């Protein structure tokens, strides 16, 4: 059975109340519960890790080695400037799928740059919480 880690970075713990016009009204718990159901159908086992702290996210990426087959990761704003997270993704040798709920290319200019895309296996963005579902499916079926 494939093991997939669902990781969320800064401010994603506020989903449900955070800018609902952009991110919708589902909480992160709602999304994770749905992903659990989808994972069962796909025959995959999930782990979850959420943190607002860059170092904790890096530690979780390191700890994923030898435990998970792949990682589905919404790095939040760290996406746009954290070379430390980019280096961690590159270092662990596990495929990571970059996820964004919003279409970052259609938003402020600083969101147009992702310093992690080049070291991720692929990116899903712009489909709200379904971005996670699409990434999960890819992780379970392709990676
Ligand atoms: C986000 C997009 C980022 O630019 C932003 O900083 C987030 C959420 C998304 O899911 O659309 O925190 O990653």
The chain-wide mean pLDDT, for the chain, equals 97
The listed CATH number (3.20.20.10, 3.40.50.9100, 3.40.50.1240, 3.40.50.12160) that belongs to domain 2-141: 3.40.50.9100
Distance of CA 119 to CAs 18, 25, 89, 113, Å?
28, 31, 7, 13
H helical segments located in 5-141: 20-23, 28-42, 54-63, 83-92, 130-141
Active site (annotated) includes residue 100: yes
> Which pLDDT score is estimated for 122?
98
- pLDDT above 70 covers what percent of the chain? 100
CA of 74 to the centre of ligand 1 (A): 7
Compute the half-sphere exposure of residue 57: CA atoms within 13 Å on the CB side of its CA: 28
pLDDT in tens, 12-32: 999 999 999 999 999 999 999
Active site (annotated) includes residue 81: no
Compute the half-sphere exposure of residue 113: CA atoms within 13 Å on the CB side of its CA: 9
Q: Which of 23, 68, 78, 132 is catalytic?
A: 23
Cα–Cα dist 11/94, whole Å: 25
pLDDT in tens, 43-63: 999 999 999 999 999 999 999
Please work out whether the CB of residue 104 comes within 6 Å of at least one atom of ligand 1.
yes
CA of 80 to the centre of ligand 1 (A): 9
CA of 1 to the centre of ligand 1 (A): 30
Q: Which of 68, 78, 100, 132 is catalytic?
A: 100
Q: Where are the domains of the chain?
A: 2-141
Cα–Cα dist 72/77, whole Å: 16
Distance of CA 74 to CAs 49, 103, 106, 137, Å?
11, 13, 17, 15
pLDDT in tens, 103-118: 999 999 999 999 999 9
């Amino acid at each position: 059975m494939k093991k997939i880690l669902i990781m969320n970075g800064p401010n994603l713990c506020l989903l449900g109340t955070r800018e609902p016009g952009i991110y919708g009204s589902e909480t992160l718990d709602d999304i994770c519960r749905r992903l659990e159901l989808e994972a069962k159908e796909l025959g995959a086992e999930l782990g979850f890790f959420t943190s607002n702290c860059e170092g904790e996210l890096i530690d979780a990426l390191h700890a994923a080695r030898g435990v998970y087959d792949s990682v589905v990761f919404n790095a939040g704003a760290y996406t746009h400037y954290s070379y430390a997270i980019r280096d961690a993704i590159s270092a662990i040798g596990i495929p990571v799928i970059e996820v964004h709920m919003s279409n970052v290319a259609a938003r402020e200019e600083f969101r147009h740059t992702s310093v992690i895309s080049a070291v991720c296996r692929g990116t899903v963005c712009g489909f709200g919480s379904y971005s996670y579902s699409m990434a999960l499916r890819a992780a379970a079926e392709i990676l």
